[in-house]
């Protein structure tokens, strides 16, 4: 199959969260299964290894012609296509300290158009042009307009007539909603407004939901929840498409493997755990914590209300009244960043809160810690619980979305548990689950070792998920246009 995978962020070229990890990994897994893949994302900054393809297109939007250039990195069987335009060259990806950029609708409409044009003008890594039966995999609100443009501008002109669009749903909490007046800039005939209109506002995600051929949420539980009560208003729109909506959990890439992770001072695997202890001691030295064999709790997160950082904050005095350490990494809300700083001041020998985005430190924390805290209010799939399990760091998670689908709760009589799943989303329930984790770690070493083994052996490979995506693409291609 010929697949054009399009996302607003794509690791390692750009990243604010899990979408980038998926966008950096799934195209590789698909290429590994024999498909021709272009993976398209904006070029937010210089990428030294990117080669200028010399291919340029002009896209008309918001009353002007915009020249778009394509750079390419050929790696891992995928042609990573970086879309160059001055509007992507900014301090942040979606915004800066003053908030979201005011022209994001323009920037991502431009990306959507550039991706459609890429299928026409950018050959695959093998030098061959993409065929007529191309599948676009758009993601989230940013590329929600891609199928609209396909239907409105391309098919009627006899271009990309047999192309199909699958829309990935990673987070319904962001829909790109903006004022209806902006519709005028999108270069779409007035009859398309109905697809974009949601209660009088322009909603690119809704447009993608109603015009794509199939919808894939990033876990089976999240697929159900967004039709029920977690669709941020789009529940009934999604229900109307229930037969075209499924959930496929994310996998994790080869860079998250404790046996080979280049960020780690020592390596380990399920049968050789000594390296994990060395990673803990090294992290304690790095962060200026006492170097001791003491239970280490951890959290790595965007500091957003979604992530339930408030629950971690609430249990911290209790947690640190035990002989444990707590290491946190994150950036986002000022309120939670202040909590990190206060925790360090109040418990200098037990707590560290590293404010900022630090990929290498994220790996070292996953390797060093014993328990990972993930009390997300909602979690479409979640990646950190997968990384944690792979690194033998048992997760305590709220029973929502992909966390339910991926973490097996420790309950009496089970021998396949990989962590603790708590409900409801309240401090008491969270504290109780964290208490169980601490008790198991300190008093029941055999039970701990069994859970750790289960967690490390869990198959979170992308290949498994890629096979499911392949079936979705095959399915939409089999339908008449």
Q: Is 261 in the site for ligand ADP (CB under 6 A)?
A: no
Q: Is 68 in the site for ligand ADP (CB under 6 A)?
A: no
**The one among 183, 201, 357, 436 contacting ligand ADP by CB under 6 A:** 357
Structure tokens at 1: 């199959």
**The one among 289, 300, 311, 373 contacting ligand ADP by CB under 6 A:** 300
Cα-Cα end-to-end distance for the chain: 16
The DSSP code sequence of 49-70 is T-EEEEEEEEEEETTEEEEEEE
CB of 370 vs ligand ADP, minimal distance in Å:
17
Apex 65 CA angle, 63 and 69, nearest 5: 145
Q: Can you tell me whether residue 244 is helix, strand or coil? A: helix
Q: Which is nearer to ligand ADP, 135 or 299 (CB)?
A: 299
* Residues 437, 243: Cα–Cα separation, whole Å: 40
Which stretch in 50-58, 209-217, 220-228, 357-365 sits in contact with ligand ADP by CB under 6 A?
357-365
What are the angstrom distances between the C-alpha of 73 and each of 47, 109, 309?
9, 23, 37
CB of 261 vs ligand ADP, minimal distance in Å:
13
Q: Is 286 in the site for ligand ADP (CB under 6 A)?
A: no
Q: Which of residues 426-465 bind ligand ADP (CB under 6 A)?
A: none
Apex 147 CA angle, 215 and 194, nearest 5: 95
Q: Which of residues 321-350 bind ligand ADP (CB under 6 A)?
A: 329-331
Contacts (Cβ under 8 Å, ≥6 apart) of 398: 308, 374, 375, 376, 377, 379, 421, 422, 423, 425, 430
**The one among 177, 313, 358, 442 contacting ligand ADP by CB under 6 A:** 358
Site string for ligand ADP, 159-198 (x = CB under 6 A): ----------------------------------------
Q: Is 93 in the site for ligand ADP (CB under 6 A)?
A: no
* Site size for ligand ADP (CB under 6 A): 18
The owner of tokens 């300290």 is: 97
Cβ atoms 295, 324 nearer than 8 A: yes
Structure tokens at 283: 């992290």
Which stretch in 141-149, 159-167, 186-194, 377-385 sits in contact with ligand ADP by CB under 6 A?
377-385
Q: Which is nearer to ligand ADP, 6 or 383 (CB)?
A: 383
Q: Is 230 in the site for ligand ADP (CB under 6 A)?
A: no
Contacts (Cβ under 8 Å, ≥6 apart) of 86: none
**The one among 302, 342, 377, 425 contacting ligand ADP by CB under 6 A:** 302
Binding site for ligand ADP (CB under 6 A): 17-19, 21, 300-302, 329-331, 357-359, 362, 381-384
């Amino acid at each position: 199959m010929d697949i054009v995978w399009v996302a607003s962020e794509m690791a390692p070229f750009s990243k604010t969260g899990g979408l980038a990890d998926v966008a950096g990994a799934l195209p590789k897994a698909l290429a590994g299964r024999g498909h021709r893949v272009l993976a398209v994302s904006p070029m937010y900054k210089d990428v030294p290894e990117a080669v200028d393809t010399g291919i340029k297109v002009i896209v008309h939007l918001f009353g002007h012609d915009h020249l778009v250039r394509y750079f390419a990195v050929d790696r891992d069987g995928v042609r990573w296509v970086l879309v160059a335009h001055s509007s992507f060259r900014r301090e942040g990806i979606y915004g800066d300290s003053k908030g979201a950029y005011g022209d994001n609708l323009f920037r991502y409409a431009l990306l959507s158009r550039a991706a459609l044009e890429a299928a026409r003008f950018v050959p695959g890594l093998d030098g061959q042009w993409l065929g007529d039966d191309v599948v676009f995999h758009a993601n989230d609100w940013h590329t929600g307009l891609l199928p609209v443009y396909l239907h409105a501008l391309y098919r009627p002109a006899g271009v990309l007539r047999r192309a199909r669009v699958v829309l990935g749903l990673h987070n319904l909490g962001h829909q790109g909603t903006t004022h209806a007046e902006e519709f005028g800039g999108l270069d779409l005939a007035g009859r398309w407004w109905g697809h974009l209109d949601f209660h009088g506002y322009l909603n690119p995600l809704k447009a993608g939901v109603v015009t794509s051929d199939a919808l894939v949420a990033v876990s089976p539980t999240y697929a159900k929840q967004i039709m029920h009560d977690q669709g941020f208003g789009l529940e009934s729109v999604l229900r109307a498409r229930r037969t075209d909506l499924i959930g496929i959990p994310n996998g994790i890439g080869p860079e998250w493997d404790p046996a080979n992770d280049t960020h780690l001072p020592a390596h380990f695997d399920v049968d050789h755990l000594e390296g994990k202890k060395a990673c803990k001691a090294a992290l304690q030295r790095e962060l200026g914590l006492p170097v001791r064999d003491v239970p280490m709790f951890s959290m790595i997160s965007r500091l957003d209300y979604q992530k339930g950082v408030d629950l971690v904050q609430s249990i911290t005095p209790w947690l640190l009244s035990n002989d444990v350490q707590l290491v946190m990494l994150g950036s986002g809300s000022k309120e939670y960043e202040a909590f990190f700083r206060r925790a360090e001041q109040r418990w200098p020998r037990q707590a560290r809160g590293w404010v900022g985005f630090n990929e290498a430190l994220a790996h070292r924390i996953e390797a060093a810690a014993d328990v990972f805290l993930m009390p997300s209010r909602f979690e479409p799939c979640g990646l950190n619980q997968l990384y944690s399990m792979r690194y033998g760091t048992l997760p305590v998670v709220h029973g929502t979305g992909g966390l339910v689908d991926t973490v097996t709760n420790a309950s009496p009589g089970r021998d396949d548990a990989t962590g603790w799943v708590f409900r409801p989303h309240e401090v008491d329930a969270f504290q109780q689950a964290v208490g169980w984790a601490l008790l198991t770690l300190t008093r029941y070493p055999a039970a701990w070792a069994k859970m750790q083994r289960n967690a490390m052996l869990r198959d979170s490979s992308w290949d498994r998920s890629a096979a499911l995506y392949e079936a979705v693409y095959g399915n939409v291609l089999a339908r008449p246009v």
